[in-house]
Amino acid sequence: MGLDFSQINFGFILGGVLVTLEFTVLSTIFGFILGTLLSIIKISKFAPLRWFGIAYTSVFRGTPLLVQVSLAYWAVPQLTGYDIPALQAGIITFSLNSAAYVSEVIRAGILAVPAGQRDAALSLGVPYGKMMRDIILPQAVKNILPALVNESVALLKDSSLVSVITANDLMRRAEITMSNTYRYFEPLILIAAIYYVIVIFLSWIGSRLERRLRQSD
């Protein structure tokens, strides 16, 4: 049995690229912002905040992403009556989940910034918040950029999970095509290739950014 792409609706499948990208980009951004806040909570001097940070990370890392996303999509409407759109449920879950991973990476990045940077900023009368934002985090992020790009790549690949909650991403469009045409290899190999191209593209952006930042020292 040969390959036959003639029954595949390319336009329909390619339309999933936008959904998948929207999902990945938004989850990366929100995950980064939340993860940064969470990392600061984790190095706080105030113990209850620290405990919250540790518990949060533990829960999100200790339960399957598929279960989390299903909870957001099916359990939230049951509890609140709010009929949450699939993409929204997915982005919220992935952002919260990514924050748990990213916060560990950022925390390590912050701790790797030499203590003297903190001393220098504080001795100039710089308040803690501004010191973190302007002095510590820029240096931390620069060191962990490769890990952050990896996280974004992982989010992209895991995004195929949102197909189970009926978000119209690449994976779901491939599934719909399969059930309509009874052809499996063609749509799957097509979306595999698309995922791969996007991953390569993300990595390329990451390495350019890194080079850019390197130049500034």
Partner 1 sequence: MIKVEHLHKSFGKLEVLSDVSLEIAKGEVVALIGPSGSGKSTLLRCLNLLEVPTSGHVYIDGVDITVKGTNVLKIRENLGMVFQHFHLFPHKTVMENMIYAPTKVKGVDKETAKREAMDLLRQVGLEDKANSYPETLSGGQKQRAAIARALAMKPEAMLFDEPTSALDPEMVKEVLQVIQGLAHTGITMVIVTHEMGFARNVADKICFLDHGQLLEVSTPDVFFSNPKTERAKEFLSKVL
Q: Could you list the residues that contact partner 1 (CB under 8 A)?
A: 114, 116-117, 119-127, 130, 134-135, 138-139, 142, 216-217
Report the nearest approach of partner 1 to the CB of residue 134 (Å).
7
Q: Is 1 helix (H, G, I), strand (E, B) or coil?
A: coil
User: Nearer to partner 1 by C-beta: 88 or 143?
Assistant: 143
CA separation for the pair 145, 45 (Å, rounded): 26
The pair of three-digit structure tokens given for residue 21, joined into one six-digit string: 């990208």
Residue partners of 47: CB distance under 8 A and separation at least 6: none
Report the nearest approach of partner 1 to the CB of residue 159 (Å).
32
Report the nearest approach of partner 1 to the CB of residue 49 (Å).
20
Report the nearest approach of partner 1 to the CB of residue 135 (Å).
6
User: Nearer to partner 1 by C-beta: 3 or 45?
Assistant: 45
Amino acid at 170: L
CA separation for the pair 101, 61 (Å, rounded): 8
Residue 84 DSSP label = -
User: Nearer to partner 1 by C-beta: 77 or 138?
Assistant: 138
Report the nearest approach of partner 1 to the CB of residue 161 (Å).
37
CA separation for the pair 95, 61 (Å, rounded): 13
**For 172, what's the count of Cα atoms within 13 Å in the CB-facing half-sphere?**
18
CA separation for the pair 17, 190 (Å, rounded): 12
User: Nearer to partner 1 by C-beta: 88 or 117?
Assistant: 117
Q: SS3 for 168-201, per residue?
A: CCHHHHHHHHHHHHCCCHHHHHHHHHHHHHHHHH
User: Nearer to partner 1 by C-beta: 121 or 149?
Assistant: 121
User: Nearer to partner 1 by C-beta: 11 or 114?
Assistant: 114
Report the nearest approach of partner 1 to the CB of residue 202 (Å).
24
